[in-house]
Amino acid sequence: MSDSDIELERDYIVPLSRAWIAPRHRRTVRAINVLREFAERHMKSSEIKIDSELNEQLWNRGITRPPRRIAVRMTKDEDGLVTISLPKITESEEENEVETAIPSEESKASIPEETKKETPVSDKTETKQIPSKKPAQKKKTKKAKSKQNKK
């Protein structure tokens, strides 16, 4: 789909919590229906197509545990067909995510050596021995007790 065919494009965070009202074995199917209803209401079209990547994201955790909410991009073309897909991540956003997730080596080098704590490694590993329980004694039945009493 080229840019000239796109009539309307919007990003949404769709709440899928209504899917959890459905029985456990139908929740992801219900989540897809909730997503379609949301698209119909907000994009004013009944022709809706869900992208395969978005479908895999919804089914990722199985039929019983769909996500509670999901970020999507809805695009409507001139024919009225709405395509729902995952939002595209730009290169600058991707770099920001990587920087926050993994601290750079320069930032590690800026920490003074004195503040770094070293954990001592001992050669001996202490193991605690758990005292073993005595084997459980069998309960005597009434017949066994009566035989002992007769002797």
Which domains are present in the chain?
A: 6-85 (3.10.440.10)
Q: Concatenate the DSSP letters of all residues of 47-61 into one string.
A: -EEE-HHHHHHHHTT
Q: 16-30, 55-69, 127-141: which has the minimum mean pLDDT?
A: 127-141
More confident residue, 151 or 32: 32
pLDDT digits (tens, 9 = 90+) for 51-95: 999 999 999 999 999 999 999 999 999 999 999 999 987 666 667
pLDDT score of 114 more than 70 = no
**What type of residue sits at position 66?**
P
What secondary structure letter does DSSP report for 4? T
Phi, psi of 119 (to 5 degrees): -95, 125
Predicted structure pTM score: 0.59
Q: In Å, how far from its chain's centre is CA 110? A: 35
Interatomic CA distance for residues 15 and 12, integer angstroms = 9
E strand or H helix at 12, and its extent?
strand 6-15
Interatomic CA distance for residues 55 and 61, integer angstroms = 11
Are 34 and 47 in contact by the 8 Å Cβ rule? The answer is no
